[in-house]
Amino acid sequence: MKKKLLLILAVLCLPPNVFAGELKPFGNIPISAANPPTEAKVELGKKLFFDRRLSGDGTTSCATCHDPERHFSDGLPISLNYPTTRNWRNSPSLIGVAFQKFLFHDGRAASLEEQALFPMMSAFEMNQNLDFVEEEIRAVPEYVAEFKKVFGDEDVTRQRIAMTIAAFERTLVSRDAPLDRFLLGDKNGLSPEAQKGYEVFTGKGKCAECHFGEKLADDRFHALHVPENPEHLQDPRIVATRRFVAKVYHYEAYRTLSEDPGRYLITREQNDWKAFRTPALREIAGTAPYMHNGIYATLQEVIDFFDAGGGPGNTVLRPLQLSPAEKDQLRIFLEQGLTGKPPAFTYPKIP
């Protein structure tokens, strides 16, 4: 009875007109009523996204970990870091991020405006003082003029910096993927092998139970017990980062923490121990390595993980018993079917 009630609640929480297992072609980009986009706002946000002033030592920008040449990710197991420190989680792609209900692997931010400030403040990421960065941007006449054009006055605040970056990030979408053409009625939208992979994805593979809708994600968190990276457990810089984050979130046993607690640090719900946000799958072929800690270098490894029923002790997954041919077909669908036309992009000139 309890499981049935949880399933009903999960369905009620789905976006309008989307049901578990239903894949949808790409549609319109969601618009933030609190931060409506304008061309000038998006252009200002693009400049700030690439501006290294946003970091404490002036060497990194948002684009350092979200590189346009790498599908707005960085191709590394864990994100880059501030000098002498190390990050502890993988850098997710920003393609289609406008559709995300929760941001970060643990879902601690509910909007792009909120998310944008976290990396700037983080001691192991950009390590910037937000009061100081406001003054750095105010000291640039070109920026002052652009803020006045966008907001009506010259006041440069961290909130406005975040709003412009968020407006830019919402433009990062890929369109016209083979899956979209297939879902819109083009029977040749997917290659024959990719169509077989689509059938595995929506059928025996059970992928569509969590990966559905336009962005192919369910806006939920699951404890799949992804293996810890042995290197991360031994690197004292990553140990320090893990303990620091747990301490910030008032986890009492932070000094002895030897694994990533995932969303548990945010909710303190035991079911969220080692739970992470379901990733969106569009452009997945170009955003390796995979999982929150970059433990898997290839999609084949990810497929093998799910086929085996996830990590030891998880209660979410069961072995799928896919044949080698079905695994290969699924991989082809993920690689070919979900790769669309990247957003048109030109690098900005930073003042």
% residues pLDDT > 70 (the chain) = 94
What burial class does residue 140 get, using C-beta atoms within 10 Å of its C-beta: 0-12 exposed, 13-18 middle, 19+ buried?
middle
- pLDDT greater at residue 9 or residue 43: 43
Same domain, 268 and 156: no
Q: What is the per-residue pLDDT for 19?
A: 54
Give residue 343's pLDDT band: very low, low, confident or very high (50, 70, 90).
Answer: confident
Q: What is the domain count for the chain?
A: 2
The arithmetic mean of pLDDT across residues 244-261, rounded, is: 96
Residue 16 has pLDDT above 50, yes or no: no
Backbone angles phi, psi at 221, to 5 degrees: -125, 135
Q: How far is CA 38 from CA 31, 151, 197, 321, 345, in A?
A: 11, 11, 40, 50, 17
Same domain, 227 and 138: no
Mean of per-residue pLDDT scores for the chain: 93
Beta bridge partners of 296: 290
Residue 5 has pLDDT above 50, yes or no: no
Q: What is the per-residue pLDDT for 2?
A: 40
Same domain, 145 and 187: no
Which domain CATH number covers 94? 1.10.760.10
Residue 217 has pLDDT above 70, yes or no: yes
Q: What is the per-residue pLDDT for 10?
A: 43
Q: Which of 168, 130, 141, 142 is nearest to 53 (CA)?
A: 130
Same domain, 50 and 163: yes
The arithmetic mean of pLDDT across residues 142-151, rounded, is: 97
Same domain, 148 and 222: no
Same domain, 199 and 292: yes
Same domain, 156 and 180: no
Tell me how many helices (H) and strands (E) the chain has: 15, 2
Which is it for the CA torsion 192, 197, 201, 204, positive or negative? Answer: positive
Task: Tell me the per-residue pLDDT of 304-321, one tens digit each, with 9 for 90 and over.
Answer: 999 999 999 999 999 999
Residue 350 has pLDDT above 90, yes or no: yes
Give residue 18's pLDDT band: very low, low, confident or very high (50, 70, 90).
Answer: very low
- For the chain, helix, strand, coil in percent to 5 are 45, 5, 55
